[in-house]
Structure 1
Amino acid sequence: MLSEDLRLRRALLPETAADDPLLRLQEETRLGDGIIRLRATTHPEEIRIGGVLVMCPHCGARRDWMVICDRSEISIRCRCAHQWVEPELTHADYEALIDVGGRDYPSLEAAAQAVGYDGTLAGTYLP
């Protein structure tokens, strides 16, 4: 039953989006009214949640984060490419962390690679 629903949903995608993985990803990350629901920003400073310093559970980093807002879920990504959901952070917290400006990328992976959160700069703190 589930596979039939999935096939039906795929069949309803626009012809171009079904053929091109990049267009399909862009369609999936936009709401019906054209608003992008996945956003990300970099945050070079420490983040404290309820007075507790956020640390990467994989490498122990304490600052220089990529903060990702996917609808109402907030994730933190380290330069070692480890990413986790922070249930204590809200959309309002994300808005407070946003830097001025920014750039749109076709996917989270492309953004992570462009700003160095794909693991290539693991263990590196940038000024």
Structure 2
Amino acid sequence: MFHRIRRRAAEPSEAQRRFLELSARLRDQTPPGIGGQSAEPERGEPAVVVDDFLPPELRVPSHDQLDGRMMPWKQPLVLDDEMVTCAECGAYRDWLVLSTRDQIWLRCQAGHQQQETRLDTAWYNRSAGPADATHATFEDCLRHLGH
């Protein structure tokens, strides 16, 4: 039985044979427009320059134009099998995670801030969603996020 299966696999199938025949016929042919002379644009009129960049009111500032970014983190934050708590009031949920100057800071609902060295900017970028607003001051951002 296995000998018959091996013998059948050694012979090319009908589809393979048709493909080989077709590729042999088309081997020396090239599609139109490939390898031929390229059409040069006429030099009479200059190309029209179109500003395809977004208007200023729709542009989002780049990371180097911002002092920092922040996002809400409602659930408890667990790092290294340990729940992170506020060093001053003991809060363990409803954090604001701040990313600034390659540092991550946590701010509890009571306004206490502590640096979290176990997190980095790469973690923040993976965890943060798209920014929904930009603010001129830190206090404006806090009000926007309900802190």
Q: Which residue of 2 aligns with 1:43?
A: 73
SS of residue in 2 equivalent to 1:63: coil
1:74 to 1:52, Cα distance in 2 relative to 1, 3 A:
same
Letter in 2 for 1:60: G
Deviations 1:57-108 (A, max 9, x none): 1221111110000020100001100011111110011112213442211122
CA distance in 2, matches of 1:106, 1:68: 15
CA distance in 1, matches of 2:123, 2:64: 23
Q: Which residue of 2 aligns with 1:56?
A: 86
Alignment TM-score, normalising by the size of structure 1: 0.60
Letter in 1 for 2:78: R
Q: Which residue of 1 aligns with 2:99?
A: 69
Structure 1: runs of 5+ lacking an equivalent: 1-29, 118-127
SS of residue in 2 equivalent to 1:66: strand
Identity among equivalent positions (%) equals 25
Higher Cα radius of gyration: 2
Structure 1 segments, 4+ long, off by >3 Å, are none
Q: Which residue of 2 aligns with 1:93?
A: 123
Q: Which has the higher contact order (CA 8 A, sep 6+)?
A: 1
Decide whether the 8 Å contact of 1:43 with 1:97 is kept in 2.
no
